[in-house]
Amino acid sequence: MTEALRFDAITEATPTRETLAAESQAIHAALDRGDRTAALRDWDAARRRYDTWSALVHLRFAQNTQDEKAKADRDYADALSPEAADLEIALKRRLLADPDQDGLAALVGQHALRLWETDITTFDPAIKPDLEEEAKLSARYTELLAGAKLSIRGQTVNLPGIEPFAEDPDRATRHEAETVRWSFFGRNGEALDDIYDRLVKLRHGMARKLGYDTYTPLGYRRMRRVDYGPDDVARYRQQVADHVVPLVARLLEARRAGQGWDKLRFWDEALIDPAGNPKPVGDHDTLVTAAEDMFAALDARLATFYRMMRQGGFLDLKNRPGKAGGGFCTSFPTVGVPFIFANFNGTHHDIGVFTHEMGHAFQNWESRDQPGVDYLWPTMEAAEIHSMGLEFLTYPAIDCLVGSDAADRFRRMHLIGALAFLPYGVCVDHFQHEVYAYPNATPAERHAMWQRLERMYMPWTDYGDLGYPAKGGRWQAKQHIYNSPFYYIDYTLAQCCALQFWVRARRDGREALDAYVRLCGQGGSMPFQDLVRSAGLVSPFAPGALADVVREAEAVLGA
C-alpha cells in the first residue's frame, strides 16, 4: 500500500485556531473522563496531522520562495505555530502533573516524559508574540539569501549556483567566485547585521521572560538536549582544537607546497583534490538513476527504500531560481514517507548532500513504527549520525555516482572535507555561545568575536583581498546561526560518530551497515548518548573519542 504512495497525493486540511482548540478540548475531555489511552491516541494523531500540514507548507515555500501563495501560507503557519505550541504545552503540563507517572511512562515511554519535561520549560504564553517575530525574522533572512543574483562569467546565478565556480580547478575562477559571493554579503551586511541583532535580543528577551539568565540554557532546551550541557560541548570543542586543527593545518600546508603557491588563500581551501575535485558522473537525471545501482550494491533495505522515494516523487534535488538554498529532509508523519530537498549544482556536493539527506530519510522511514510522534526523529546530533554516517557507508559503492576511476580520489576528498569541517563547525558553535553570553554586543563587536575565534580554530584562513570576510563577516553566510541557534555543534558531534562508522566499515562493511540500520530503527526513542552506546559507538564527550578516529584518518591520508 505504502509502495504506491505519491507525494502529490499527500494533503492535509489547513488548521485554524478554532480547529486546534476544539481538538485540544476533546483531548482534555477524554482526560477528564479518565480515558488516558484514548486521549494519548487522539493527541498523537492530531500532532501527526499538524506536523504533516506544517511540513507541506514549509516545503512548498522552500521550493519557490517567490510564490506569493506559498509565502502567505508560510506566514500563516508561522503565526499559528505559537498557538499550537501553547495547546501542546498545556497538554504536556497536564499529563506531567498526573500522579501516575509510572502508568504514563508505560504508555508513552520514559524518554518521552523527559522530553516533555524539557519542552514545558521552553514555553510560556507570554512569549507567543516573540516566537512569531522570530519566525518572521528567520524568513526575512532566508528570502534575502534566496534572492541573491550573482553575475559570474556571463551567467547570473544564486548562492548555491556559485559553488561550481568556487571550486573550479582554475585559481582565478575560484578567486572571482569568492569575490562575487562576498560582495553580495558586503552589500547586504547592514541588513544582515540588523536581522541578527534583532534575533539575538529577541531570544535573550524570551529567555529572561522564562526565568533564564541568558538564551543559552533555553537554546539547549529548545534542542531537547537532556543528557549533556555547555560544559561537555566546550570540552568537545577543545578536543577538536587539540586533535583536528593540527591535522587540517598539515593537510593544507601539504596542498600549498604541492601546488607551489607562496600562500594558501581562502579560495584555495575548496580545491581539495589537486587535480580538481572529482565531479558526479552526470547531471541530476543521471545521478538519481545511478543511485539505484549504488544502493542495490550496498544493501537491499536501502535499495527498496530509495526506489519507493524516487517512484513516489519524494525527491526535489534540482537547483532553480527562487528555490531556497541548502538541502534538508522533511517528513509527513501521517504517511511515514519522508521527502528530500537539495540544489544540485554539478559538483561533488551533489553526492554529499544526496547521501546525507538520504540518511535522514532512511532513518525516518525505519523508525516510522516507533510508538509516538516524539520518537519519529531523534534530537539532531543523533539524527546527523544517520545522515553523515551514510555519507561514509556509501564509500564502497560510490563509484556508481562518481565513476570508477575517480572513486579513490572522491573518498580521499570527502574524508579531508569531513575533517576540515570540524574546526569550522566548532567555531560556529563557540561564536554563538559568545553571542548569547553578551546579547548587547554591537554588530561590530560580534564581527570581532568571530574573527578572534576564527584565528583560534582556523589559523590558516587567509582572505587576501576579500574585504568582507577579512573583517569578520563570514558567519553571516551560515543560515543555522540565524535560523537554528545552537544546532551547528550537532554536525560536529555526529561527525565524530560517523567517522567511527567509517572505521568499522573498513574492518567489516556488513557489520557496520547492520549496526547503522538498527540505529536508524531506534529513531528518537533514547537520548543522544544512549543511542550512541546502543550502536556500539563511543560518545564524542568521552576523552579520546576524536583522537582515535583522527589517528586512523592520519594513517589513511598519510598525513
Question: Residues interacting with Zn ion, by CB under 5 A?
Answer: 384, 387
Q: How far apart are CA 157 and CA 227, in angstroms?
A: 43
- Cβ proximity of 28 and 94 under 8 Å: yes
Q: Which helix (H) or strand (E) holds 15?
A: none
Q: Which is nearer to Zn ion, 384 or 454 (CB)?
A: 384
**C-alpha torsion 83→84→86→91, nearest 10:** 150
Q: Compute φ and ψ for 315, nearest 5 degrees.
A: -130, 135
Minimum CB distance to Zn ion smaller for 122 or for 387: 387
Q: Which is nearer to Zn ion, 217 or 327 (CB)?
A: 327
Q: Could you tell me the smallest distance in angstroms from the CB atom of residue 318 to Zn ion?
A: 19
Longest dimension (CA), the chain: 78
Rounded Cα gap, residues 216 and 186, in angstroms: 29
Reference 372, options 121, 1, 112; nearest CA is: 112
Question: Contact, 496 vs 540, CB < 8 A?
Answer: yes
Residue type, 368: R
- Name the minimum Å distance from CB 331 to Zn ion: 13
Between 162 and 382, whose beta carbon lies closer to Zn ion? 382
Which one-letter DSSP state was computed for residue 316? E
In angstroms, give the least distance from the CB of 384 to Zn ion.
5
Give the residue with the Cβ less far from Zn ion, 127 or 309: 309
Given its phi and psi angles, is residue 323 left (phi above 0), alpha (psi -120 to 50 degrees) or beta? beta
Q: How far is the CB of 379 from Zn ion (least distance, A)?
A: 12
Least distance from Zn ion to the Cβ atom of residue 329, Å? 7
One DSSP character per residue, 255-294 reads HHHHHT-SS--GGGTT--STT-----SSSHHHHHHHHHHH
Nearer to Zn ion, 20 or 420 (CB): 420
Determine how β-strand 150-152 pairs with β-strand 315-318: unpaired
Q: Which lies closer to Zn ion via its Cβ, residue 384 or residue 429?
A: 384
Report, in Å, the least distance between residue 356 CB and Zn ion: 6
Q: What proportions of the chain, in percent to the nearest 5, are helix, strand and coil? A: 70, 5, 25
Cα end-to-end distance, the chain, whole Å = 51
Nearest to Zn ion of 40, 291 (CB atom): 291
DSSP code for 156: E
CA–CA separation, 449 vs 472, rounded Å?
A: 8
Angle, helices 407-437/380-393, rounded to nearest 10 degrees: 160
Q: Which is nearer to Zn ion, 40 or 309 (CB)?
A: 309
**Is 277 or 387 the residue whose CB approaches Zn ion more closely?**
387
Sheet strand arrangement including 338-344 = 315-318, 338-344, 328-331
Measure the CA–CA gap between 503 and 344, rounded to whole angstroms. 29
Closest distance between Zn ion and the C-beta of residue 208, in Å? 31
Q: What's the closest the beta carbon of residue 279 comes to Zn ion, in angstroms? A: 22
The CB-of-354 to Zn ion minimum distance in angstroms stands at 12
Q: Which residues contact 322 (CB under 8 A, 6 or more apart)?
A: 64, 65, 66, 67, 146, 147
Identity at 465, one-letter amino acid code? D
Minimum Å distance from CB 367 to Zn ion?
A: 15
By Cβ distance, which residue is nearest to Zn ion? Answer: 387
Whichever of 116 and 314 has its CB closer to Zn ion, that residue is 314
Residue 382 Cβ, how far from Zn ion at the closest point, in Å? 11
DSSP reduced 3-state for 313: coil
Would you state the torsion angle of the CA atoms of residues 245, 250, 255, 260, taken in this order, to the nearest 10 degrees?
A: 130
